[in-house]
Amino acid sequence: MWSRAERRFAARWFWRVGVGETVGFAVATGVAIAVILASLPPVPSLLLTVGGGVVEGTILGLAQYAAMTANRPPRMPWLAATAGGAAVAWTLGMLPSTLGLDFGAPLTWVLVGVGGILLLGSIPVAQALVLRRRGSVRWAAGNAGAWAVAIGWTFAPSPFIDESSPVGLVAALYVAAGLLMAGTIALLTAPLAVRLFAEPSALARRATPFGRVDGGLSPSLHAELRE
Q: How far apart are CA 120 and CA 151, in angstroms?
A: 9
Tens of pLDDT along 36-56?
889 889 889 999 999 999 999
pLDDT digit string, tens, across residues 193-206: 999 999 876 555 44
User: Which of the residue ranges 15-24, 30-39, 71-80 would you say has the lowest mean pLDDT?
Assistant: 30-39
Indicate the pTM of the whole model.
0.84
Tell me how far apart the alpha carbons of residues 19 and 59 are, in angstroms, rounded to a whole number.
10
Tell me the per-residue pLDDT of 67-122, one tens digit each, with 9 for 90 and over: 999 989 999 999 999 999 999 999 998 887 777 777 777 777 788 888 889 999 99
Q: How far apart are CA 121 and CA 137, in angstroms?
A: 11
Q: What is the pLDDT of residues 172-227, one digit of tens each?
A: 899 899 999 999 999 999 999 999 999 876 555 444 444 443 334 444 434 444 44
Closest among 86, 16, 94 to 57, alpha carbons compared: 86
